[in-house]
Structure 1
């Protein structure tokens, strides 16, 4: 470490201190054209509030192509929508679980539950027997 400090002509303590600390954290990423993009996004989102960023991007890019402008990346649309609180709530596919306790609920009492498997076999056999007899 001392050789590196001599080559860079900095104090060794300063070099050790810089290697131990993380660099300055980055702030939010913003492009200068984000406000203009937000102005284009607002009418689309107001008209279709249930659309996600991908559909919004498709509509925006269709509109921009008709106007002769360049298309916008979907990740940029997502970033602008997130920064301004325009995204939908995240969908989680958690559904309430159904308990499988092995109890069959009948529509009324004294109903017999059976499979159609036996009926199909009897039907097939009777068709084969009818062909062979006739």
Structure 2
């Protein structure tokens, strides 16, 4: 059975007119945001490949590829379907999959995270500039992983759930 990772990207509009684009990888089993990147410029395939490599390292340590079958599911954005990105993902051991065009519900867990993140963090943040948003992101992601309860995890946060499984 493939353990799925989901990846997506979304854009935040700052009050100054700046935009911040964020890409992330999410473990569908424990709901943890494993890795993320943010930029006030366009996120390209190179950045997605870095996200993939960082996700593997954060979850499995310094390994050349994932130790068991793992699916990487994303939408059909150009940074995800780029030949170099798909090839790199396969080298890491991922089964690289994309959703059908105009079918965001297939990547529903990632889409739900974006909605929750905007509701619970962005709505209360300082959106004055791209720099200010990017400065707050580490705290927001850490809070989400450590403290945000999930109904599907019996009201535990992703990391609480992982710790419980480890005992």
TM over 0.5, yes or no? no
Larger relative contact order (C-alpha < 8 A, sep ≥ 6)?
A: 2
Greater fraction of residues in strand: 2
- TM interval, shorter chain, is under 0.3
Give me the TM-score of the superposition, normalised by structure 1.
0.25
Greater fraction of residues in helix: 1
